[in-house]
Amino acid sequence: MEKFNQTTFDKEGRRAEMEARRVAALERTTTNDERRVALEERKVAMKEKEKEDRIMQMDLDLVQDPKMKAYYQYRKGEILVK
């Protein structure tokens, strides 16, 4: 009976250890996912900033189409408000 109890105790210990490892692995995965998402958000923000910089540097006197000129004037105003 004592051997049975010890075997059961050992199995429970191994299960608890495996569960702890699984939880730790999930936490690492979650942390990595959060870092990946943050990196993607920074990339998107950088691309948006680059687009805004190009718009701000545009010489609107060279734009012939009045609708395009109005659009870029509007976009410049939005960017300045930000």
Quote the percentage of the chain above a pLDDT of 70.
88
User: How sure is the predictor about 1, in pLDDT bands with cuts at 50, 70 and 90?
Assistant: low
- Residue 74: closest CA among 62, 50, 60: 60
Structure tokens of 27? 């936490």
Is pLDDT above 60 for 4?
no
Instruction: Name 73's Cβ contacts closer than 8 Å, sequence gap at least 6.
Output: 60
pTM: 0.60
| 34-49 confidence digits (pLDDT tens) | 999 999 999 999 999 9
Strands (E), 1-57: none
Q: What pLDDT sits at residue 66? A: 94
